[in-house]
Amino acid sequence: MNLLKKRINSFRPKFLQSFEPIISRYAQYGGGSKEDKFNRGKAFANVYEFYIYAFFIGLAKNKSLELTSEDTAKDFWEIENWKPADLTEQLIICAIAESDFDMNAVESMDKDSLYKESTKVLSTIEKFANGGFMYIKQKVEESEEAAEDELLFVNLLEED
């Protein structure tokens, strides 16, 4: 497998620990069946589903939150395990587009430099996803009624 693809696929993106309550409120930790998801009142069957959603919401609302080495963050599953695969690829495409990752330069780099350069893409994924979580957290805190609405995430998508 291409080294860059391997690097991206094996990445375990992080989220700030402070977002854990909101993630466990809406996503089913450890996955499970779709039916379980509805039975337990969760909007997302997996944490990665919520992460993908948060990324695109962050991107749409231009909300970004860069993680620093001082932040307490948690990681989870490698990107290659996320589903649907089509959507995961769109996320990578957008992250490449929105970062200053040099598509040509990496082709001439050794492994270490390539890893360093690709970090720009991976940081962009984390930046928008955490920005998205921050945005969702604000919305949930603003109104408990909205937080309880089963259409919360569709409504956020519909907001201009």
Partner 1 sequence: MLIKSLSLKNFQCYCGELDQNHFCFKNGLNLIIGNNGNGKSKVFDGFYWVLYDQIFDTDIRQFTPTSVYGEKLISDKVTRNCEVGDTATAEACLVVESSQGREYRLTRVFHCTKLSDTEWMKERSILLIEEKKTNRWTTSNETPDSVLNRVIPPHIKPYMWFQGEQVDGLMDLTQKSSLAKIIKLLSDINFYDELVEITHKGAEKSSKSLLKNQKSLSKNKEESDRLEKEFNDNLREIKNLEDDKKLANENYTNAQSKINDLLNKIDDAEEKQKLKIERANLEIKLKANEDSVIEKRKSFTSKMFHDYWILKFSKPSLEKFGRKYKEYFEKHQQIVNQNQQTSFKLPLNVPQPMHLHGMLESETCYVCNRKAEKGSDAYQHIEELVNRSSSVTKSPFECDCSEYYDHLYTKSIRFYQHIETTNERISEQFDTISSLEADILENKSRLDTINAELEGLLENDSSEDVVSEFRRAQSNVERFGAEQKDIENKLNRLSTNQEKIKKSLEKLTLGKVDLALVNAEKVFASLARIAKSTREEVYTQIVLELESKANKIFEEMTSSNMSFKGRIRLKRLDNGAYKAEIVDQEGYSVTGSNDSNIVLVKLALIMAILTARARWSDNFTLISDAPTSKMAHEYSTGFYKALSSNFSQSIVMTYDFIEPEDRAKFIMENKQNIGSIHILNSKYASGNMNDRTDLETSIEEVVL
70 or 160, CB closer to partner 1? 160
**DSSP string over 76-114:** -S-GGG-SSHHHHHHHHHHHHHHS---TTGGGGS-HHHH
State the Cα–Cα distance between residues 153 and 57, nearest whole angstrom: 9
Tell me the CB-side half-sphere exposure of residue 152, using CA atoms within 13 A.
26
State the Cα–Cα distance between residues 141 and 120, nearest whole angstrom: 31
CB of 13 to partner 1, least distance (A): 16
70 or 134, CB closer to partner 1? 134
CB of 134 to partner 1, least distance (A): 17
Amino acid at 13: P
68 or 121, CB closer to partner 1? 121
CB of 57 to partner 1, least distance (A): 8
Positions that interact with partner 1 (CB under 8 A): 2-5, 24, 29, 34, 38-41, 43-44, 49, 52-53, 56-57, 59-60, 84, 86-87, 89-90, 92-94, 96-98, 103-104, 106-110, 114, 150-151, 153-154, 157-158
70 or 107, CB closer to partner 1? 107
State the Cα–Cα distance between residues 65 and 130, nearest whole angstrom: 5
CB of 2 to partner 1, least distance (A): 5
Query: Which residues have a Cβ under 8 Å from the Cβ of 65 and sit 6 or more positions away?
Result: 16, 58, 127, 130, 131, 133, 134
CB of 6 to partner 1, least distance (A): 10
What torsion, rounded to 10 degrees, do the Cα atoms 157, 132, 55, 43 define?
Answer: -60
49 or 126, CB closer to partner 1? 49
